[in-house]
């Protein structure tokens, strides 16, 4: 059962994931290293025959939220932290 206000979403396209990474950061005045969205898509498994694992998006959301909380430039090296 879902809590009020929660929505079940299907898989996001590569373009939607790029926007989900870049647009909130830019709106907050932060910069995103240009290659980062492609690296994140690769890490999610985008481009493979079956796409990415269903549980990958919550992990990506957590990583981006942690980076957001630090309020600094977002780069590929942040993925390793």
Question: Is there a domain that residue 72 lies in?
Answer: yes
Write out pLDDT tens, residues 5-34: 777 777 788 888 889 889 988 888 888 888
Q: Is residue 6 part of a domain?
A: no
pLDDT score of 20: 87
Contact 30, 72 (CB under 8 A): yes
Bridge partners of residue 74, in order along the sequence = 32
Domain that residue 53 falls in:
14-80
Question: Looking at the domain assignment, is residue 7 inside a domain?
Answer: no
Domain count, the chain: 1
Position 31 in a domain: yes
Residue 49, judged by CB atoms within 10 A of its CB (0-12, 13-18, 19+), counts as: exposed
Name the residue with higher pLDDT: 46 or 63.
63
* CB count in 10 Å sphere of residue 16: 11
How many Cα atoms are found within 13 Å in the side-chain-facing hemisphere of 3?
Answer: 0
Greater confidence, 67 or 50?
Answer: 67
pTM: 0.65
């Amino acid at each position: 059962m879902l809590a009020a206000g929660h929505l079940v979403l299907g898989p996001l396209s590569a373009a939607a994931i790029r926007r989900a990474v870049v647009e909130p950061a830019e709106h907050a005045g932060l910069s995103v290293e240009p290659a980062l969205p492609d690296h994140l898509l690769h890490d999610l498994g985008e481009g493979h025959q079956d796409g990415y694992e269903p549980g990958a998006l919550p992990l990506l959301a957590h990583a981006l939220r942690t980076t957001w909380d630090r309020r600094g430039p977002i780069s590929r090296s942040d993925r390793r932290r």
